[in-house]
Structure 1
Amino acid sequence: MLRLMIVDDEQIIREALSQLIDYESIGYELIATAKNGMEAYDIICDDYPDVVITDIRMPILNGLDLIERSIKSDSHITFILLSGYNDFEYAKQAMKYGVRYYLLKPTDKNELIESLVSIRKERLQEEDSRKLQQQDFLRSLHFPLEQSFIMEALEHQDSFPAVFRKYQVLLALPKNCIYACICSFVEEGYIKSFISDVRKILEASKVPMQFSIVYVKNTAVFIFPAFTLAIQERIESAITRLRYPGQSVTFEAEFLHRDSAEKLFQEIIQKISRFERILLFSEGGDVHEIRNHIASPWMIRRLENSITTAEDIVQAAELIDSVFMDSIPLSTARNLALGLFLQIGPEQEKLPVDAACDFFRRLYSCDTVSGIRELLRVVLVRKDGSCGTHKTGSNIALLKAYIREHLYSENLSLKWLAENYLFVSVGYLSKQFVKEEGMRFSDYLNKERMEEAIRLMTYYQNDNVKHIARQVGFGSNPQYFSQVFKRYTGFPPTEYIEKLKNKI
């Protein structure tokens, strides 16, 4: 369902539009109505609508000002403009902001339905395209994600189901219908030849690999779907017939199957957990070694624990700097950063795929280790003096700290912060913000902006309202700033400044 909001200063029109169409039947949820642009913008900051039907001529913040301000924080909102015959010039201005839907009042029901259906069709096509791109992107990260999965699963065997659920979507693992073929007596000296030949056997049977090959002490584990007993027998027979110079023992192959992929991988993890050295062989021929020794806990786990227990932000940042030195290979830094981001705890929310992909894109767009350091300082280190990864408290603390440092910015919506800064789902963040702060995000943001405006007025005795408006995130719209200021203090900015001067 797409989230829809209606904005019009005339109550009768708002109510008529709300009841004009059965929005659910065409794939929409009407989440709110607003009586002016200022109220509408607050709702956009809090409730992130997909589509906004708005009048052009409104008090406080007109339709064009609302669009201009909104697209700075969420460029994916689609606007449908409603106006009278004399507002064509406004419509031309709206086109500068990418607005393509423009309906005349009184609103024709069929025209509105046609516009909404067209928008939804476009959104579905965009979503399909985005998912395909996301799948391609995740496939390109398959090997480092597999490494992270194995390492985290070995660390957290007591909470394996939670680990598996997190990686299941990222690695496109099916719920069932996969088998593990455990090949024994495979000496490391000819493991590469053996893997190459087994891949050819699987290709001949049109069986795709589901995971990189896991190798521990003369045993190779292949994971793939094998839907019939005949396929299993054909694969087993072909493997046991393989021969290499110097080979003294015939290979053995046994199939392991459980009623779910989760249980299958859990058993594999249990089987390999007693080995100190685990090798992963990717489809492209890359090899990654995992050292699994009880006396040598994972660097990722050690680092994550050190960051979360750091005394202050300085110590945490120094710790990140000491590990992510410029001298380490960029690929190593990326793999380590990816593993740190994906560390899981029982108190954490299920990691949204979109948020994970946004972080991965940001991570893999860093072409230097120093860039990765800066990214991790933002994502892993709390600004309020303590540290943490993906914990509720750190999300809200990070959000509040970012607001304090960027009050001048016009793009401080909850959605922008969730997607571009915290890498969490906006719905989750919205609920947690209200729960922890006892107010909606827009109210908190306006409070912080107005307190800063009052501080500037008091300290500098500044009567340049335009300058103050820019300083606290209202850009080139001092009229909107004045309205919010009056709502917060009870006085227009100029009158408030005069009161301050009279106190001197």
Structure 2
Amino acid sequence: MYKVLLADDERIILEGISSMIQWHSFGASLVGAVQNGMEAYQLILRERPHIVISDIKMPGMGGLELIEKVSRDHPSIRFILLTGFGQFEYAKKAMAYGVRHYLLKPCNESHITASLASVISELKKEESAERVKSDLELVRPHIRKHALQELIKGGKKAAEGYLRFFPERQTIELILFALEDTGRLSALQKLAAGILGSSVIASVRMNDAVVFAAEPSELIAEKIDRVKKQTEKQFHAVPAAAVSGRGEIGDAASLYEKARGRLAKQLITASCQPSVLVRKMLDLIQREAANPKLSLKWAARNVLYMNPDYLGKLFKQDTGEKFSSYVTKVRIEKAIAMMKQKNGITISSLAEESGFGDNPKYFSLVFKKYTGYTPSEYRKEKS
């Protein structure tokens, strides 16, 4: 429902227009009819009408002054001016504020309804355009994501049609991130997008990496470092990262190849060393060896907050041993060290302090399997 306000110092004109127009037939409602500019201005501030039908000459504040004040703060409000004979010079001034509808007094119903219908039609077209623009803004990130993917896959010539979704000759750089645990790439993409911020134009998953197209910035290196630190804090793993260097959005395919090559070198180097996550597991075993609850599931659930199957696979891949076997080896080695340090320590105490709990028989069996001796035989043999 469009709101309309009338302003004219002649009561007969106010009453005539108010009564002769079937407002609801236009999808409109009359929210006020006042006789001077000051009242009109106050009512406009309160009601925020879509359309104001106003006389040019009124006491207190004329129509032109009213238009000037309202247009400054509320430019979307439309005016239909009522002018007397010889007042067209005033009307010309109103054109500077976008007023295009004028009615010569006395005006008949057909003239008023035609002007009103024209203004409402303009408002509807603008609203429709705004809705289209709003809808486009909602889908633009998805369009750009697909466009970036096609530009990377197909090259500039094959994906030329997608360039229209980016500013002409836009300069970008591609930033790639990768994790050993590819199941966490979506979470990494969200985390990195938050840190990289408004410089990101589009992002997409490509194979086992996350790709960001971003506006070049001197802060990129600092932001990438923040992504790495935050990823390690949350996922206990440091992502590999590479930057392509600067180029046009149309050259996304070649920029991707550059960054991909740099990323591959990092991944090869990282595969030759124990991962950060495995080092955390090794440290945990040394620290918690005396804890009888220590197991792969316990570590995954209470300390590392990750999938135990994935952790076990990663540990075996990097160390060549199962997690449980490594824990047993560490516990027996700690028991041997305690036997050397404390000559009179009992088997029960050894079992408890090396992580076997209140189970000296099981401790003795494991000790013999590992060393070839029972604890007592080992002590005699070494002494």
Query: Which band: TM-score by shorter chain?
Result: 0.3 to 0.5
Return the structure number with greater relative CO, CA threshold 8 A, min gap 6.
1
Q: What TM-score, normalized by structure 1, do the two folds share?
A: 0.31
Q: What TM-score, normalized by structure 2, do the two folds share?
A: 0.40
Highest Rg: 1 or 2? 2
